[in-house]
């Protein structure tokens, strides 16, 4: 019955050529006649193509439209304070406060409401903007309103964009399931939904598992979708693990040089990371105040500066303190811890104890969907950045003469000195390099966490764990250590919670060190002892 | 025996400690006008707990070369064991008035005491746990680590991981030990009200006694034949092993004793300050203990105690006067002591004294 009415109305309305003036005329007619007349006017409004049509219909649906008796026009009432204030619907001019008897509500009944919703749906579904169409499809998908089926059918025929058409079909499938159409249509709908997959589909289908005709199909579809979902979840977990691993790698890779290559325990490493993050903050402050148009490039300016700042502080630490303590690792540990306290307090005195906000440039913000996974741009760039830094360091150590000198000094200081290498200078450069890389890590970490004077403290235990687990003296060890610890952590989290997962990983490392006291990739040979 | 235990520096220190132990309670309780204010008694008792903790670390670091960056964990475990007893002693006087459950358990909807709380209503049981729990942890940890010859920096880092893991564990509310609030709101110990001056003075005397005992026990160990082997381990571990000593056994023994001593220090600390919380497990706290020992003089025992008292006193004064400067001072202390005072304050003082002393004939 309703469907028939709808079709007749659509036919009538399509026969009429309605222009913008007709929109205002139609609106003026709204108060007149009964519900069935009003339904025809609703269609006229919808087909007028006027920008205001959707707003008017939404207001009508919400019951906010009134006929102003004195002015004899249609108004919208909105409550301001305790009074109802009327606005001209067409010009949006304020008319004034109205009492209860000054205006008459333009009533809608359930039939008309359904009609309006369908018309609105169709309007959105055939909107020229594909984003609006997509949104409309999603709205129908969520509501699963069977009244929208015909509108969807019309929209599917008219649709040119493949993505939107698919969304329409999926929305239609949900609507079909909720309608009283026959079983074969519904089975086809289940197939459509099964192909769609995704987190919310099992919830939609779960309502039909007890249905005698659809139960079997719905159940198999749900298990199939959930199996696929599990795979995606696995993928997402691996992604989170890689992401955490990249953060750990960045934090630990500088340490892999100072601790791993030089054998110096640098407890101030975390603070060098912090210096990098604060350099980023300072650069962004300058850019915000002086050259706002450069904001998107702030990280590219901050990265070399952070490398320099942290590197210079590192060289100063090496020349000022660490070089007097070579061969006394425990004393080095204590002295650098002292330096870390001093650096922390310096930054606290200059920048204040509170968290500082470092902004994300546009290419770092937002996320995209990859199948069933959500990937944030910042995490993705950080992962790539960590790999680039890693590769760069590897090349530097293995392929340049500087790297050759560094390794020579590490392996046999006296021999290297005899060969004419300035070991003091190489020490300073190596330490500076490790510190500079820590500064680079700070630039990346400022994008995903708080920048505060305590930033470094949070990473120091973790980064030592990575280096110790991976095996000192080996960059590949740091890489393997960072990613395996990251992934292990993220896989434990769903079962154990974040804190317990961390505790389990720590205990695992403590036990692992018992088995392989020199880490995963241990150096072999005489250089190992002392 | 007496001569072996008490050399000149130990004698001077113990004499000073004895004078203090008598003078402070008398000045606080018996003299008119209270020349020693009550807060100072509690403060000094706290310093003495730190001193005992420093001595325990000096025993392993100064004499066996084990730089533990997790000694705060043993201290905190001892503190928690005592704290659990004090919680049970509150009885029905808590805010919620539950006769059995401590306040935080009522708050977290516990039905019954968790199993590990059983027995802590008994003071002797609690005291036993104060030494047993840290001792057991040290035994298991040390047995694993020393047997597989984890030494030097690697050992330091995994002890740090240990205390870090424990800190995270104790921060969890689900553990049933008060979560991040820890244990607090204690009323009395063995029937003595913790708020009264006489109990405070009593705790001070107990802390001083414990420190004396700790010093003498450590001295007894380090001057024995076993102590000589430990020094051998410290200076040349492989060589000691090749001579035929089972190095891991010696290290394990001294590590466990040291952990127990740290536990006792924590157990006295808890009633003195009135709270024990997971912050005590933080790696930074444990590293601070190391600077006490380094400042006072590593391998001197007495020096460690003095170092702890100097740093703690400096912390109280500086954070009171100019809070911003404290971290600079502490950090500077780490750097300067490692660079310029390899034998600590005690070593420096004794060296200076020796310069003024007429030189004895030394045989070469």
pLDDT average, residue stretch B286-300: 91
Residues A162 and A32 grouped into a single domain: no
Q: Which two tokens stand for residue A93?
A: 């001019």
Query: Which residues of A fall within a CB distance of 8 Å from B332?
Result: 338, 342
Instruction: Write down the pLDDT at residue A15.
Output: 47
- Using DSSP, state whether B118 is helix, strand or coil: coil
Task: Give the helix/strand (H/E) hosting B193.
Answer: strand B192-193
Does residue A182 share a domain with residue A309? no
Among residues A213, A247, A271, the one where a domain terminates is A213
Of chain A, the end-to-end C-alpha distance in Å amounts to 92
Task: Give the tens place of pLDDT for each residue, B2-39.
Answer: 778 888 889 999 999 999 999 999 998 888 888 888 89
Give the Å distances, CA to CA, from B204 to A135, A272, B200, B306. Answer: 73, 42, 6, 17
Q: What confidence score (pLDDT) does residue A347 get?
A: 93
Residue A488 and residue B280: Cα distance in Å, rounded?
28
Cα angle A277-A283-A289, degrees, rounded to a multiple of 5: 135
In a shared domain, residues A323 and A279: yes
Q: Which helix (H) or strand (E) element contains residue A374?
A: strand A373-376
B290 and A CB contact within 8 Å: yes
* Backbone phi and psi for residue A369, each to the nearest 5 degrees, phi listed first: -95, 135
**pLDDT surpasses 90 at B55:** yes
List of residues 6+ apart from B257 with CB closer than 8 A: B59, B217, B221
- Residues A505, A492 contacting (CB under 8 angstroms): yes
- B11 reaches A (C-beta below 8 A): no
To the nearest 10°, the Cα dihedral for A7, A8, A9, A13?
100
Distance from C-alpha of A319 to C-alpha of A95, rounded to nearest angstrom: 79
Residues A279 and A134 in one domain: no
Q: Is A499 an 8 Å CB contact of chain B?
A: yes
Is residue A394 one of the residues assigned to a domain?
Answer: yes
Residue numbers in A near B283 (CB within 8 A): 461
Which is nearest to A432 in space by CA: A248, A252, A251, A258? Answer: A258
What would the two tokens of residue B186 be? 């204690």
Q: How far is A519 from chain B (nearest CA, A)?
A: 10
Rg (CA), chain B: 21
Say yes or no: A506 contacts chain B, CB-CB below 8 A: yes
DSSP letters spanning B99-132: SSS-HHHHHTT-SS--GGGTTTTSHHHHHHHHHH
CB contact under 8 A, B294 and A334: yes
What residues contact residue A394 under an 8 Å CB cut-off, 6+ apart? A475
Say what the pLDDT of residue A4 is.
60
Could A341 and B331 be called an inter-chain contact, meaning their C-beta atoms sit closer than 8 Å? yes
Give the count of domains, chain A: 3
- Chain A nearest C-alpha distance from B323 (Å): 11
**Span between the terminal Cα atoms of chain B, in Å:** 29
CB A502 within 8 A of CB A451: no
Separation of alpha carbons B76 and B239, rounded Å: 35
**Same domain, yes or no: A245 and A386:** yes
Cross-chain Cβ contact B330/A338 below 8 Å: yes
Subunit contact A461:B324, Cβ cutoff 8 A: no
Taking 3-state DSSP, the helix, strand and coil percentages for chain A, each rounded to the nearest 5, stand at 70, 5, 20
Q: Which residue has the tokens 């199909």?
A: A217
Same-domain status, A479 and A411: yes
C-beta neighbour count of A402 within 10 angstroms: 14
Is residue A206 domain-shared with residue A151, that is, in the same domain? yes
Q: Is residue A493 part of a domain?
A: no
Q: How far apart are CA A25 and CA A226, in angstroms?
A: 53
The two tokens of residue A410 are 């590490």
B259 within 8 A of B92, measured Cβ to Cβ: no
A494 occurs within a structural domain: no
d(CA B34, CA B25): 10
Contact A468/B at CB under 8 A:
yes
Contact of A89 with A75, CB cutoff 8 Å: yes
Angstrom distance (rounded) from CA B149 to CA B144 = 9
Backbone angles phi, psi at B276, to 5 degrees: -135, 125
CB A275 within 8 A of CB A439: yes
pLDDT tens digits, residue range B133-175? 999 999 999 999 998 888 888 888 889 989 999 999 999 888 8
On whether the CB atoms of residues B321 and B302 are closer than 8 A, the answer is no
Q: Are residues A311 and A265 in the same domain?
A: yes
Q: Domain for residue A153, yes or no?
A: yes
Query: Whose CA is closest to A239, among A334, A127, A379?
Result: A379
Q: Do A262 and A314 share a domain, yes or no?
A: yes
Are both A304 and A416 inside the same structural domain?
A: yes
Residue A283 lies in a domain: yes
How confident is the model at residue B359, as a pLDDT?
62
User: Is A345's Cβ below 8 Å from some Cβ in B?
Assistant: yes
A334 touching B, CB under 8 A?
A: yes
Residue A405 tokens read as 């000198």
Of A179, A213, A247, which residue is a domain's last?
A213
pLDDT digits (tens, 9 = 90+) for B74-100: 999 999 999 999 998 888 888 888 888
Spatial distance between the Cα atoms of A117 and A121, rounded to a whole number of angstroms: 6
Q: Are residues A274 and A376 in the same domain?
A: yes
A496 lies within 8 A of chain B by CB: no
Count of Cβ atoms closer than 10 Å to residue B155 Cβ: 24
Residue in chain B closest to A499 (alpha carbons) equals B168
Q: Is residue B311 less than 8 Å (CB to CB) from chain A?
A: no
What is each CA distance from B305 to A4, B239, B254, B289, in whole angstroms?
A: 96, 31, 18, 11
CA A43, distance to chain mean position in Å, is: 41
Is B144 in the A-facing interface, judged by CB distances under 8 Å?
A: yes
Q: Per the domain annotation, does A117 fall within a domain?
A: no
Provide the b/e sequence for A505-521 (b: ≥16 CB within 10 Å).
Answer: bbeebbebbbeebbbbb
State whether residue B127 sits within 8 Å of chain A by CB: no
Which residue of A337, A465, A513 is in closest CB contact with B334? A337
Crossing angle of helices B8-25/B38-64, nearest 10°? Answer: 160
Distance separating alpha carbons of residues A446 and A449, to the nearest angstrom:
6
The answer to whether A515 contacts B331, with C-beta atoms less than 8 Å apart, is: no
Q: Residue A33: inside a domain, yes or no?
A: yes
Averaged pLDDT, B178-205: 89
**A337 shares contact with chain B (CB less than 8 Å):** yes
Interface with B, mutate which of A333, A462, A528 (most B CBs under 10 A):
A333
Count of positions (residues) in chain B: 364
Q: Does the global pTM surpass 0.80? A: no
Cα A235 from chain centroid (whole Å): 16
Query: Is the minimum CB–CB distance between B294 and chain A shorter than 8 Å?
Result: yes
**A335–B153 C-beta distance less than 8 A:** no
Identify whether A417 is part of a domain. Answer: yes
**Domain with A397 in it: what CATH number?**
1.10.3470
Using CA atoms, how far residue B322 sits from B298, B316, B319, B328, in Å, is 29, 10, 6, 11
Q: Which of B147, B164, B339 sits opposite A506 (nearest CB)?
A: B164
What is the residue range of A288's domain?
A: 232-483
Domain limits of chain B? 43-356
**A320 and A352, same domain (yes or no):** yes
**B interface test, pick of A255, A270, A330, A471 with most B CB neighbours within 10 Å:** A330
CA distances from A336 to A264, A279, A473, A475, B41 (A): 10, 21, 20, 22, 35
B330 or B256: whose pLDDT is higher? B256
Q: Under an 8 A CB cutoff, do B338 and A464 touch?
A: no
**Distance from B85 to chain A by nearest Cα, in Å?**
27
* pLDDT tens for chain A, residues 1 to 530: 556 655 555 555 554 444 556 777 777 777 777 787 888 888 787 777 777 777 788 788 877 888 887 777 788 877 777 777 888 777 777 777 777 777 787 878 887 887 787 777 777 777 777 887 888 778 777 777 777 777 778 778 877 788 888 888 888 888 887 777 777 878 888 888 777 777 777 777 777 777 777 778 888 888 888 888 888 888 888 898 998 899 889 888 888 888 877 778 888 999 999 999 999 999 999 998 888 888 888 889 999 999 999 999 999 999 999 989 887 877 888 899 899 999 999 999 999 888 888 888 888 888 888 777 888 888 899 999 999 999 999 999 889 999 899 888 877 888 889 999 998 899 899 999 999 999 999 999 898 888 998 888 878 888 888 888 887 667 888 899 999 999 998 888 888 888 888 889 888 988 888 888 777 776 654 444 44
B202 versus A143: the higher-pLDDT residue is B202
């Amino acid at each position: 019955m309703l469907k028939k009415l709808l079709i007749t109305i659509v036919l009538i309305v399509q026969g009429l050529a309605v222009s913008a003036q007709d929109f205002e005329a139609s609106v003026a007619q709204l108060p007149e006649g009964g519900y069935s007349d009003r339904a025809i006017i609703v269609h006229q409004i919808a087909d007028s193509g006027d920008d205001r049509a959707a707003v008017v219909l939404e207001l009508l649906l919400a019951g906010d439209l009134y006929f102003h008796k004195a002015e004899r026009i249609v108004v919208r009432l909105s409550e301001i304070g305790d009074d109802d204030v009327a606005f001209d619907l067409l010009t949006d001019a304020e008319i004034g406060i109205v009492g209860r008897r000054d205006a008459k509500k333009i009533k809608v009944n359930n039939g008309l409401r359904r009609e309006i919703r369908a018309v609105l749906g169709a309007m959105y579904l055939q909107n020229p903007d594909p984003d609006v169409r997509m949104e409309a499809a999603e709205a129908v998908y969520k509501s699963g309103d069977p009244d929208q089926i015909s509108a969807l059918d019309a929209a599917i025929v008219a649709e040119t964009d493949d993505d939107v058409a698919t969304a329409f079909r999926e929305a239609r499938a949900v609507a079909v399931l909720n309608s009283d159409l026959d079983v074969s249509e519904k089975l086809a709908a289940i197939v459509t939904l099964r192909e769609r997959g995704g987190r919310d589909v099992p919830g939609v289908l779960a309502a039909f598992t007890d249905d005698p005709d659809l139960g079997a199909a719905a159940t198999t579809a749900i298990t199939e979708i959930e199996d696929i979902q599990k795979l995606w979840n696995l993928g997402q977990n691996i992604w989170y693990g890689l992401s955490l691993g990249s953060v750990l790698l960045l934090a630990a890779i500088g340490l892999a040089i100072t601790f791993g290559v030089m054998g110096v325990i640098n407890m101030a490493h975390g603070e060098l990371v912090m210096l990098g993050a604060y350099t980023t903050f300072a650069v962004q402050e300058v850019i915000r105040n002086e050259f706002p148009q450069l904001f998107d490039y702030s990280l590219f300016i901050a990265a070399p500066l952070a490398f320099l700042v942290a590197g210079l502080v590192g060289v100063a630490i090496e020349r000022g303190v660490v070089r007097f303590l070579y061969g006394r690792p425990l004393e080095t540990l204590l002295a650098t811890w002292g330096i870390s306290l001093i650096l922390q307090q310096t930054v606290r005195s200059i920048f204040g104890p509170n968290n500082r906000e470092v902004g994300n440039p546009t290419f770092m913000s937002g996320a995209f969907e990859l199948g069933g996974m959500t990937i944030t741009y910042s995490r993705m760039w950080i992962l790539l950045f960590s790999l680039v830094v890693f590769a760069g360091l590897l090349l530097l150590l293995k392929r340049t003469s500087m790297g050759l000198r560094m390794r020579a000094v590490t392996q046999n200081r006296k021999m290297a000195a005899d060969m004419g290498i300035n070991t003091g200078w190489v020490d300073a450069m190596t330490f500076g390099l490790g510190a500079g890389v820590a500064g680079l890590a700070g630039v990346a970490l400022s994008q995903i966490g708080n920048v505060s004077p305590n930033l470094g403290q949070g990473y120091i235990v973790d980064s030592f764990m990575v280096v110790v687990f991976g095996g000192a003296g080996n960059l590949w060890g740091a890489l393997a250590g960072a990613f395996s610890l990251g992934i292990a952590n993220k896989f434990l989290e769903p079962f154990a919670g974040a804190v317990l997962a961390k505790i389990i990983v720590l205990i695992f490392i403590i036990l692992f060190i018992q088995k392989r006291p020199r880490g995963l990739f241990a150096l072999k040979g005489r250089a190992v002892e002392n | 025996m007496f001569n072996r235990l008490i050399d000149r520096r130990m004698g001077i220190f113990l004499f000073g400690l004895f004078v203090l132990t008598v003078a402070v309670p008398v000045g606080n309780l018996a003299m008119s006008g209270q020349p020693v204010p009550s807060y100072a008694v509690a403060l000094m008792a706290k310093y003495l707990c730190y001193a005992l903790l420093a001595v325990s670390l000096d025993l392993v670091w100064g004499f066996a070369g084990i730089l533990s960056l997790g000694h705060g964990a043993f201290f905190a475990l001892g503190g928690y064991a005592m704290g659990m007893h004090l919680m049970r002693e509150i009885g029905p006087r808590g805010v919620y008035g539950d006769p059995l459950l401590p306040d935080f358990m009522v708050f977290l909807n516990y039905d019954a005491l968790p199993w590990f709380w059983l027995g802590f209503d008994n003071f002797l049981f609690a005291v036993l746990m104060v030494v047993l729990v840290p001792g057991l942890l040290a035994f298991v940890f040390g047995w694993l680590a020393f047997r597989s010859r984890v030494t030097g920096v690697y050992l330091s880092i995994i002890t740090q991981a240990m205390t870090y893991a424990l800190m995270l564990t104790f921060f969890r509310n689900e553990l049933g030990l008060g979560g991040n609030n820890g244990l607090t709101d204690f009323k009395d110990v063995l029937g003595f009200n913790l708020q009264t001056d006489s109990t405070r003075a009593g705790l001070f005397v107990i802390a001083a006694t414990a420190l004396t005992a700790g010093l003498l026990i450590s001295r007894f160990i380090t001057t024995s034949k076993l102590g000589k082997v430990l020094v051998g381990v410290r200076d040349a571990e492989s060589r000691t092993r090749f001579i035929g000593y089972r190095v891991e056994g010696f290290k394990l023994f001294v590590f466990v004793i040291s952990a127990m001593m740290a536990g006792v220090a924590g157990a006295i600390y808890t009633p003195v300050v009135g709270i024990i919380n997971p912050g005590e497990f933080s790696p930074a706290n444990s590293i601070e203990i190391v600077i006490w020992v380094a400042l006072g003089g590593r391998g001197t025992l007495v020096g460690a105690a003095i170092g702890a008292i100097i740093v703690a006193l400096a912390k109280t004064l500086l954070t009171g006067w100019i809070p911003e400067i404290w971290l600079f001072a502490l950090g500077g202390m780490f750097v300067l002591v490692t660079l310029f005072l390899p034998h600590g304050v005690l070593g420096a003082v004794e060296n200076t004294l020796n310069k003024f002393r007429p030189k004895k004939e030394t045989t070469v």
